[in-house]
Amino acid sequence: MNSPPEFNLTPELDAEIRRAAELLCEARHCVGLTGAGLSVESGIPPFRGKGGLWTKHGEPPLDGYQRFLRDPAGEWRKRLAPTESWAIALHETLGSAKPNAGHRAFAELERRSLLASLITQNVDDLHGQAGSHQLLEIHGNFRRLRCLECVTRFDPKDIAVDPENLPPHCPECGGVVKGDTVQFGEPIPRDVLECCQETVARADCMLVAGTSATVFPAAEFPIDVLRRGGCVIEVNPEPSELTPLATLSLPGPGGALLERLLHHSAAIAGEVAS
């Protein structure tokens, strides 16, 4: 586990966080949006760039989904006994990561009814482990399986995987089952995409953390909220393409900033002394 990054809470920044907490408390329907940056403090490096998983271990094929459709049995054999360096590194990194203060803050905001739902681009399961329930995992969850026909998700222990008879089939509809993680070339599952569009259409506030939200479909969500007169609060260590558009941008590590945001929200709600 990485130690939390240094964080200099100046009075100016704290006043901005307090302002963000006010926006959050005034909102009727706030939606969270998170990406890889939020899980860096849990020891999951970004995929690309310096120290990135793909940079060090090579990238998964860009037509991963098409390969699966062509040869599901072959791709399942690779899944059961991974040999590619990137697949082994990904499995080990995700398998040992634990939620950090940022994940816990999102779960607590939901518990306090300050967050209606949480859209994440992460597949690492850490929001779920931290206690978020209204969770929309647009790129799937590496710990689950999904039927390609009826889109039902399964815990792997509930699906009989016979190495002699691959791929496994859905007990509900007989469709082919694959990992829930959305691969390169694979469309976002229609059910989760519809739920995202529904909650974003109702949102008058969006709390974005650890993502520059430049990739479809996530890129459209904050823009949609802004276009309808809502506010967007960004939490990011580095300025992003969203920074000039956001109503408020809080620079710094997600864990510490979100913890402080939670503190101010609670203070506004009168639960603790400010």
User: Where in the sequence numbering do the catalytic residues fall?
Assistant: 139
146 and 153 in contact (C-beta within 8 Å)? yes
Single out the segment in contact with Zn ion by CB under 5 A; choices: 82-90, 168-176, 218-226, 255-263.
Answer: 168-176
**Binder of Zn ion out of 9, 15, 88, 150 (CB under 5 A):** 150
170 binds Zn ion, rule: CB under 5 A: yes
Q: Give me the least distance between CB of 190 and Zn ion, in Å please.
A: 13
Q: Is the peptide bond before 189 cis (omega within 30 degrees of 0)?
A: no
158 binds Zn ion, rule: CB under 5 A: no
241 binds Zn ion, rule: CB under 5 A: no
Site for Zn ion in 187-206 (CB under 5 A): none
172 binds Zn ion, rule: CB under 5 A: yes
**Binder of Zn ion out of 52, 82, 175, 251 (CB under 5 A):** 175
49/187 with CB nearer Zn ion: 187
25/188 with CB nearer Zn ion: 188
| C-alpha triplet 238, 31, 188: angle, nearest 5° | 85
Tell me the per-residue interface mask from 106 to 145 with Zn ion, x by CB under 5 A, - otherwise. Answer: ----------------------------------------
Q: Give me the least distance between CB of 197 and Zn ion, in Å please.
A: 23
231 binds Zn ion, rule: CB under 5 A: no
22/149 with CB nearer Zn ion: 149
134/152 with CB nearer Zn ion: 152
236 and 137 in contact (C-beta within 8 Å)? no
31 binds Zn ion, rule: CB under 5 A: no
213 binds Zn ion, rule: CB under 5 A: no
147 binds Zn ion, rule: CB under 5 A: yes
Q: Give me the least distance between CB of 148 and Zn ion, in Å please.
A: 8
Positions in the binding site for Zn ion (CB under 5 A):
147, 149-150, 170, 172-173, 175
